[in-house]
């Protein structure tokens, strides 16, 4: 029997809030390097250009750039703080519970109660901490309902997938690499692969929009990179309404996908970050500093924070180069020392 009385996990004590001015300052405090240490200046996330000079992208980065290049810059180059969102935490909790559901290495389907237990273990509180407790509980109960529905759909055909959260690093020419992880890849008995991505939108998209999904096309290419063959189908599983929309591989345009990735990489390399007002501006964390919108004076703080981060990254790059030079000089010095010692010894024996 399902345990409906299970309590929602407690949020962590004393959370940091990056949304307010104090939160911004605390974040800066955490990132400040102690005197005399170099390592803490390293960026917290991988650099945008990797060691081979390729632009390092993900579906989220490409999607962000295509929606608004300036927002992309604020998020991924300036790395301005973002306001935690209940919907992001809700989606992340559902994803983690479903990953654990398919990742048990046992052929039997976990029970509904076990799936709800996985939700309990996976519940991420970050985005909910500003909400009254009743609303937090409402989100948790909603997640329980969503997973009960998912269990009813999945249990009759449950089988272990070929992979869950399959991490990939997909090179696109010499210009770009796209990284990410695929929620689930199923394999038929004949070896045909099926890529599945979970979505927590309230409504399902129609077949045409699923077939036009850049994310699924990237995942199809990534599947070939990982398994040596393209998937037979790709699908978005809209877990909230409980609908999986599946399309055949030949409905995707993989050539156009490669072009889109390369164009995005090129535009980023050329530092084209124009603000592009769109329907998502109302939910943009950086509207208060965006030049496309009337300002209330807070843009100067935002731009100052952005400039500080830019300079910090530049300092980190110079420190890395300095360390490499130091290591090179030390290596050279020890080689020269060893050669002189050898010369001295050979002189003794003459
Ligand atoms: S407010 Fe709109 S135009 Fe400005 S950065 Fe955000 S998404 Fe772009």
Q: Is the CB of 275 under 6 A from ligand 1?
A: yes
Confidence at residue 17, expressed as pLDDT on a 0 to 100 scale: 37
Last residue of a domain, one of 160, 190, 210: 160
Which residue puts its alpha carbon closest to atom 1 of ligand 1?
A: 287
Give the confidence band of 21 by pLDDT, cuts at 50, 70, 90: very low
Q: Same domain for 136 and 214?
A: no
Mean pLDDT, to the nearest integer, of 105-111? 91
Residues 56, 136, single domain; the answer is no
Instruction: Say whether both 181 and 268 belong to one domain.
Output: yes
d(CA 346, CA 277) in angstroms, rounded, equals: 75
In this structure, are residues 193 and 209 in contact, taking their beta carbons and an 8 Å threshold? Answer: no
Q: Cα separation of 102 and 68, whole Å?
A: 35
Mutate to test the pocket of ligand 1, among 64, 65, 67, 71 (most ligand atoms within 8 A of CB): 71
pLDDT above 80: residue 117: yes
User: HSE-up of 224 (CA within 13 Å, CB side)?
Assistant: 13
CA distance 195 to 161: 10
Q: Is 286 in the pocket of ligand 1 (CB under 6 A)?
A: yes
Strand, helix or coil at 197?
Answer: strand
DSSP of 102-119: T-S--SSPPPHHHHHHHH
DSSP string, 252-297: S-HHHHHHHHHHHHHHHHTT-------TTGGG-TTGGG-TTS---S
The residue whose CA has the least distance to atom 5 of ligand 1 is 71
Kindly report the backbone phi and psi dihedral angles of residue 32, in degrees, each rounded to the nearest multiple of 5, phi listed first. -70, 130
* pLDDT score, position 22: 42
How far is residue 236's CA from residue 253's CA, in Å, rounded to a whole number? 16
Tokens in use for 220?
């199809």
Same domain, 77 and 220: yes
Distance 292 CA to ligand 1 centre (A): 7
User: How large is the average pLDDT for residues 33-47?
Assistant: 41
Report the number of distinct structural domains present in the chain. Answer: 2
Locate the ligand 1 atom nearest the alpha carbon of residue 284 and give its number: 6
Q: Is the pLDDT of residue 116 over 50?
A: yes
Residue 249 lies in a domain: yes
Whole-number mean pLDDT of the chain?
A: 85
**Are 265 and 200 in a shared domain?**
yes
- The response to whether residue 290 sits with its C-beta less than 6 Å from ligand 1 reads yes
73 and 151 belong to one structural domain: no
Confirm if 288 and 296 have CB atoms less than 8 A apart. Answer: yes
Q: Which residues constitute the domain of residue 222?
A: 46-82+161-274
159-170 pLDDT, tens digit per residue, is: 999 999 999 999
Same domain (yes/no): 50, 197: yes
3-state helix, strand, coil in the chain (%, to 5): 50, 15, 35
pLDDT tens digit sequence for 238-277: 999 999 999 999 999 999 999 999 999 999 999 999 999 9
Q: Residue 224: CB within 6 Å of ligand 1?
A: no
Q: Which of residues 136, 160, 184 is at a domain's end?
A: 160
Structural domain contains residue 293: no
268 closest CA partner among 1, 64, 43: 64
Q: Do 88 and 67 fall within a single domain?
A: no
- Of 160, 187, 207, the one marking the end of a domain is 160
Considering the domain architecture, whether residues 193 and 171 belong to the same structural domain is answered as: yes
Both tokens of residue 99? Answer: 């990953």
| Helix segments in 32-173, DSSP class H | 59-67, 69-72, 86-101, 112-122, 133-154
**Ligand 1 test: best mutation among 67, 275, 288, 298, most atoms within 8 Å of CB?**
275
Whether residue 250 sits in one domain with residue 119: no
């Amino acid at each position: 029997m399902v345990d409906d009385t299970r309590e929602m996990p407690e949020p962590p004590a004393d959370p940091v809030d990056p949304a307010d001015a104090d939160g911004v300052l605390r974040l800066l405090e955490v990132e400040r390097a102690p005197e005399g240490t170099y390592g803490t200046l390293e960026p917290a996330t991988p650099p945008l250009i990797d060691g081979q000079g390729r632009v390092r992208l993900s579906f989220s980065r490409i999607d962000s750039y295509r929606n608004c290049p300036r927002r992309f810059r604020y998020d991924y180059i300036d790395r301005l703080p973002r306001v935690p969102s209940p919907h992001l935490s809700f989606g992340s909790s559902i994803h983690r519970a479903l990953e654990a559901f398919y990742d048990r290495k046992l052929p039997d389907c976990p029970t509904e109660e076990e799936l709800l237990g996985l939700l309990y273990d996976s519940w991420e509180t970050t985005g909910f901490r500003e909400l009254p407790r009743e609303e937090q509980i409402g989100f948790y109960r909603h997640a329980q309902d969503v997973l009960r529905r998912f269990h009813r759909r999945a249990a009759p055909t449950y089988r272990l997938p070929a992979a869950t959260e399959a991490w990939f690093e997909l090179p696109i020419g010499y210009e770009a690499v796209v990284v990410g992880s695929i929620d689930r890849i199923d394999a038929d008995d004949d070896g045909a692969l099926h890529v599945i991505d979970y979505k927590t939108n309230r409504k399902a998209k129609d077949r045409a929009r699923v077939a036009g999904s850049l994310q699924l096309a990237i995942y199809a290419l990534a599947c070939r990179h990982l398994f040596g063959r393209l998937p037979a189908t790709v699908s978005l599983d809209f877990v909230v309404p409980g609908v999986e929309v599946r399309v055949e591989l030949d409905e995707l345009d993989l050539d156009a996908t490669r072009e889109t990735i390369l164009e995005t990489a090129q535009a980023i390399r050329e530092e084209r970050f124009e603000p592009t007002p769109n329907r998502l501006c109302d939910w943009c964390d950086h509207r208060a500093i965006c030049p496309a919108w009337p300002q209330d004076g807070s843009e100067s703080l935002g731009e100052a924070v952005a400039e500080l981060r830019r300079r910090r990254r530049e300092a980190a790059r110079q420190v890395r180069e300095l360390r490499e030079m130091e290591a090179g000089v030390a290596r050279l010095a020890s080689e020269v020392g060893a050669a002189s010692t050898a010369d001295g010894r050979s002189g003794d024996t003459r």
